[in-house]
Structure 1
Amino acid sequence: MYEPIRTKSVHTMAADSDFPHRSREEELDIQLAGHLSALLALTDELRLAAGDPELDAAAGELAAQISRLRGGHPPVRSTVAAAVHEPHVAALHQRAHALAGRALVVAASRADTAAAILAARRMEYHANAGRLIAA
């Protein structure tokens, strides 16, 4: 009644091809490095605005984790030279808190304890800083 399929499935053809595939762990490493890089950019911006020594240390830790995830390649650092005012700083802390949360989820899913601890500490810092600015 039906004519048999004479060609290979596109899924079979894709599996047979010679292009490189990444493992789940490699994909999670890429995703985690991206979240941490975005968090580092915000941290660099906040460092210029606030001058908090804790932000300097956090930037160094973030850069070290990103380098580890990228096979030793250091991250590109932000050089922001804009005037930052209080509402902008509060928004930066909110964005940094959200990015740290995303990084925490990815770090937990790949069982990366060091990155998870760093992300959790950054979440706590930005939540507290955001509350202090809002008050």
Structure 2
Amino acid sequence: MYEPIRTKSVHSMADDAGFPHRTREEELDIQLAGHLAALLAVTDELRALAPSAELDAAAERLADQVARLRLGAQPPRSSVASAIHEPHLTALHQRAHALAGRALVVAASRADTAAAILAAERMDVHADATRLVGAS
């Protein structure tokens, strides 16, 4: 009743085409490095607006983790910041909190303890900072 399929499936053709495939771990490394690099960019902007030794240390730890995940490639660093005003600081802390949360999810999925601890610490710091900046 039905004519048999005479050609290979598109999916099997793609598998046979010799395209480089990444493992799940490699994909998670790429995602985690991206989230941590984005968090580093926001941290650098916060450092420019409200300098602190704690943010300097966090930025260095983030840069080290990104470099580790990117096999030694150092992440680009930002030194430019916008005008200082409180709502901007609150928004940056909220963005940093969200990015740290994303990094935590990927780090936990990847079973990367060092990155997960760093992401969780950054989430706590930015949640506290959001409350403090928003309350003043």
Q: Structures share a fold, TM > 0.5?
A: yes
Is residue 2:22 matched to residue 1:22?
yes
Aligned position for 1:43? 43
Q: Distance in 1 between matches of 2:29 and 2:110?
A: 8
Contact conserved, 2:44 with 2:77, CA < 8 A, in 1?
yes
Q: Distance in 1 between matches of 2:79 and 2:50?
A: 15
Q: Which structure 1 residue ranges, 4+ long, deviate > 6 Å from structure 2? A: none
CA displacement at 1:83 relative to structure 2: 1.6
Aligned position for 1:84? 84
Is residue 2:33 matched to residue 1:5?
no
Structural mapping, 1:1-135, within 5 Å: 1-135=1-135
Q: Distance in 1 between matches of 2:81 and 2:15?
A: 49
Aligned length: 135
> What RMSD over aligned residues (CA atoms) do the two structures have, in Å?
0.7
1:66 partner letter: V
CA displacement at 1:79 relative to structure 2: 1.9
Q: Distance in 2 between matches of 1:109 and 1:71?
A: 20
